[in-house]
Structure 1
């Protein structure tokens, strides 16, 4: 799948405020193969850094876990060093894109201009599932179990799901997977605050 290049990204947040990023997972795909992955904890911006019990119950990350973790500015630099100019793909891209933008706003840094594509939208369009949460998509594609709401595991599974869909339907480029400027529509899509 020459030319199928992107970085899958997943964020976890400390609370319901989108800027409260506390973990990131990345999986880089080149020519349809996951070639590198990374994940780490992030100390949320101080203004939105309180951990909600609901969020802790979902991802298991606690305040003590991020006490010595890098802050958002350093983490964004590491994300961009990893990603370069690759497009991002996320499972529920409107959520992850808003986390990226809000964390940048809270920290007073510029928002990267990499386009975002949504693997939920891709699954809805092509797989015909009743539920398009990542575990359901992974099961439907025969990809096996993973640690849902672990940012690194989610990013790797998102990447694997997109590659599997690309192979199944012979859609070997981002333009084929998301036709008609699908990346630009993400910024205008309204979704609830619930994670998929």
Structure 2
């Protein structure tokens, strides 16, 4: 699957505000193989740092867990060091893209503009499932169990799902997985003001 290159990304948030990022998961795919993954907790930007009981019930991350975690500026540098020029793929990409941009806005940083592609859109188009949540897709593709709403686990299963769908349908590049009309791609610019 030469040319199937991307980084799957997943964020968790402290509350309903998109900038309240508290965890990230990453899984890098090169030529259709997951070659590297990473995840860590993030201290949300101060202005949106309150944890909602609803969000805690979903992902289990509490204020004490992020007390000594890196903040968003350092985390953004680490994300971009990991990702480089790769397009991002996320399960419900509009959410994850809005978290990335929201955290940057709360921190006074320019957001990176790597293209974003959505695995929900891909699954709806090619799998024909009644429900397109990540656990249902993983089950349908025989990917096994995983820790849903754990950012690292979600990113890894998202990457594995995209690779499995690509193999199943012999679609070996992002351009054919997400034809231009269905893409949420935008031009990428470097993170300014922060060394890699």
Establish whether TM, by shorter chain, passes 0.5.
yes
Structure 1 residue 185 displacement after superposition: 6.4
**In structure 1, distance between residues paired with 2:5 and 2:182:** 16
1:13 aligns to what?
13
Deviations 1:8-59 (A, max 9, x none): 0000000000000000000000000000000000000000000000000000
Q: Where does 1:53-64 land on structure 2 (aligned, <5 Å)? A: 53-64=53-64
Alignment of 1:151 onto 2:142: no
Q: Where does 1:7-86 land on structure 2 (aligned, <5 Å)? A: 7-86=7-86
**In structure 2, distance between residues paired with 1:87 and 1:173:** 12
Number of residue pairs aligned between Structure 1 and Structure 2: 186
Structure 1 residue 184 displacement after superposition: 3.0
- Change in CA separation of 1:37 and 1:185 when aligned onto 2, cut-off 3 Å: closer
Structure 2 unaligned blocks of 5 or more: 187-196
**In structure 1, distance between residues paired with 2:24 and 2:89:** 13
Alignment of 1:140 onto 2:143: no
Deviations 1:129-182 (A, max 9, x none): 000000000000010100000000000000000000000000000001001243
Structure 1 unaligned blocks of 5 or more: 187-196
Q: Secondary structure at the match of 1:184?
A: coil
Structure 1 residue 113 displacement after superposition: 1.1
2:177 aligns to what?
177
Structure 1 residue 106 displacement after superposition: 0.2
**In structure 1, distance between residues paired with 2:185 and 2:115:** 10
User: If the length of structure 2 is used for normalisation, what is the TM-score?
Assistant: 0.93
Q: Secondary structure at the match of 1:89?
A: strand
Q: Which runs of 4+ in 1 moved over 4 A?
A: none
**In structure 1, distance between residues paired with 2:110 and 2:7:** 19
Q: Secondary structure at the match of 2:95?
A: helix
Deviations 1:82-131 (A, max 9, x none): 00000000000000000000000000001101000000000000000000
**In structure 1, distance between residues paired with 2:180 and 2:49:** 38
User: If the length of structure 1 is used for normalisation, what is the TM-score?
Assistant: 0.93
Q: Where does 1:107-118 land on structure 2 (aligned, <5 Å)? A: 107-118=107-118
**In structure 2, distance between residues paired with 1:183 and 1:79:** 22
CA contact (8 A) 2:116 2:185 kept: no
